Amino acid sequence: MSALMGLSLVSLVLSTALVVVLSRPLEAILAQLCPSADASRFWVAFTSVMLYIAPLLFAMFFSSFDTVNDVTAVIRLTLVTTLVGASAALMVVGWNIANARPRVSVVQ
């Protein structure tokens, strides 16, 4: 298996786990923050896509497989860069949700 294929597989598995675990809680929070159900669905889908893209891009940009010959070193480098990319994506999502203001309902 090539290093790039292994990197893609690790990133895909990690991202799928994150999306599965976070989808329902994210939907519930965004339902409170977004003005409509369509907006909420859009932001859940957008976040899911970003949780797939960010770890993969981070790992691809910051992994240097040219200098690593050992298989275990390649696996370690892949895991570290993918986890750092996923953490960065989650921090951005968490920061934005933490700073969001819930919509105010008007009672008449």
pLDDT tens digits along 9-50: 888 898 999 999 999 999 999 888 888 889 899 999 999 999
User: What is residue 16's predicted lDDT score, i.e. its pLDDT?
Assistant: 92
Residue ranges of the domains in the chain? 3-99
Work out the angle between the directed axes of helices 37-62 and 3-33 (0-180°, nearest 10).
150
Kindly tell me if the per-residue pLDDT of 1 is higher than 60. Answer: no
Between CA 15 and CA 58 the distance in angstroms is: 13
106 φ/ψ sector (left φ>0, alpha ψ -120 to 50, else beta) = beta
For residue 48, the one-letter residue type is S
